A and B are shown apart, each in its own frame.
Chain A
């Protein structure tokens, strides 16, 4: 059974169709990278996987549970699907420690002590233990994104979704976030990553999806995608972004 199974989904914003009949699968332990030009629907696609963007057609199964079924407890499912956003979205009125523990206590019903321990354990893994009492606004962008990753991890997710995690960062800070993500991938976390970082894709991805105008037009193993994509559109894209 695939961890994430996306079956023929379509989504409209009013009359604009953002996703057209997209299907793909992510197996347990697999790292899937989604790339494509801006506005192609890759962010929308990843947000449908935990129901942040509702879909009008098709079906999504996460760990065998249907997202579209009205019987599904969506908050409970989301609690086990970690998500990292382009703009970090740490809660600015809470300290780093509170950011890490809030959902553990409120959603997973862990005790404050247990949640704190778990949170700090992951904070240490992303190398920010000494920042635990600061507020998000006092951290650099790269540090904030690492805290956001630790926040998602402390919920013990079965898979992780990354929505352009390095796009809002200064070039210098990109690598510190990618390092954390590479480590996570090597440990066998199931990951779906929207990114333009082709270096990261080359290093850890198992498969690459290329999207254009709401369609998945390439879904290939990494070697094939970087070696010889099937469509001209993907080749053009690669030529442009790999030129430097």
Chain B
């Protein structure tokens, strides 16, 4: 019979939460905020009557949803530095002085070398998750915008508000409230999905636990603990969704 030693959890608690959980929560928050903003813009584009806007947005959303997340993670992490390096190098060739200075100022990146841009694990994962989640948030926001009656738009226009004012003050606030439960449910999924960055050997919560588990040979204990923590957090978030839902509902 296997000899369990749950003390390993206690010993590594600081590392697990200070390094691992912090990364996971930071990544989730950044990806959620960025994803919702980008997703909302995409949704507005998708609903546009101009094909110039709606077609690319539709293509992006359908393509992103057709690719496995794991693939996108690998793609961004390994290829993005080369793509950025290439693009910046091409830009640099067009006008060396201003672009070169700008890149050094923003990224500390010496473009002359032609080396890939060092993006870093965190930035790379944030970009990945924003790009990926935006497709899902887009579909949620699209439904949300469509859930607001057409008459609201007419009334807003009739008062002299323009498209952006109408969207910002009238349509989106209602769309957000109508869709909040679904947006948060999607965020819970995102929170779980962030554990996939483990494949890049990044120290997120799962990554940290896995490192300790392999070092101390305590796989069962650590993975049980990780599962438990994910379960508790998601349960808490679901509870929060239900509370919020009744509090911010529009009075009808």
A interacts with B = yes
Interfacial chain B residues near A80, Cβ < 8 Å = 160
What does the 1/0 interface line of A130-164 toward B look like (CB < 8 Å)? 00000111100000000000011001000000000
> Does A1 make an interface contact (CB < 8 A)?
no
B154 at the interface (CB under 8 A from A): yes
Q: Does A38 contact B (CB under 8 A)?
A: no
B67 at the interface (CB under 8 A from A): no
Cβ of B18 within 8 Å of any chain A Cβ, yes or no, is no
Q: Is A217's beta carbon under 8 Å from chain B?
A: no
| Docked-complex contact A75 and B154, CB < 8 angstroms | no
**Which of A62-70, A85-93, A189-197, A201-209 faces chain B?**
A85-93
- A76, A135, A138: the one contacting B160 at CB < 8 Å is A76
- Of A52, A87, A106, A136, the residue contacting B158 (CB under 8 A) is A52
A93 to B154: give the CA distance in the assembly, Å. Answer: 16
Q: By the criterion CB–CB under 8 Å, are A75 and B155 in contact?
A: no
Which of B173, B177, B250 has the most CB atoms of chain A within a 10 A radius of its CB?
B250
The answer to whether the Cβ of B147 comes within 8 Å of any Cβ in the partner chain is: no
Decide: A87 near B151, CB < 8 A? Known: A52-B157, A135-B251.
yes
Q: Give the A interface residue count (CB, 8 A).
A: 31
A50 with B170, Cβ < 8 A, contacts A92-B251, A93-B250, A138-B251 known: no
Output the least CB separation between A109 and chain B (Å).
11
List residues 114-151 of chain B with CB under 8 A from any CB of chain A: 149, 151
A45 to chain B, nearest CB (A): 15
Contact B152 A107 (CB under 8 A): no
CB within 8 Å: A-B pair count:
74
Chain B: residues with Cβ within 8 Å of the partner, total of: 21
> Known contacts being A87-B151, A89-B152, A93-B173, is A103 close to B250, with CB within 8 Å?
no
Let me know if B159 is at the binding interface, CB within 8 A.
yes
Residue of A whose beta carbon sits closest to that of B160: A79
A83 part of interface (Cβ distance < 8 Å): yes
**Given A75-B157, A78-B159, A151-B159, A137–B252 Cβ distance below 8 Å?**
yes
Contact B155–A106 (Cβ < 8 Å): no
CB neighbours (8 Å) of B173 from chain A are 93
* Chain B 14-30 interface residues, beta-carbon cutoff 8 Å to A: none
Give the residue name and chain of the B residue nearest to A77 (CB): B160
Contacting residue for A137 out of B152, B162, B165, B251, CB 8 A? B251
Give residues in B with beta carbon < 8 Å to A. 149, 151-152, 154-162, 165, 169-170, 173-174, 177, 250-252
Using CB atoms and an 8 Å cutoff, list the residues of chain A in contact with chain B: 47, 50, 52, 75-83, 85, 87, 89-93, 102-103, 106-108, 135-138, 151-152, 155
* A/B interface sample: 25 pairs, CB < 8 A: A52-B154, A52-B157, A52-B158, A75-B161, A78-B157, A80-B160, A83-B155, A83-B158, A87-B149, A87-B151, A89-B151, A91-B174, A92-B251, A93-B173, A93-B177, A102-B161, A103-B161, A107-B159, A107-B160, A107-B165, A136-B251, A137-B250, A137-B251, A155-B159, A155-B160
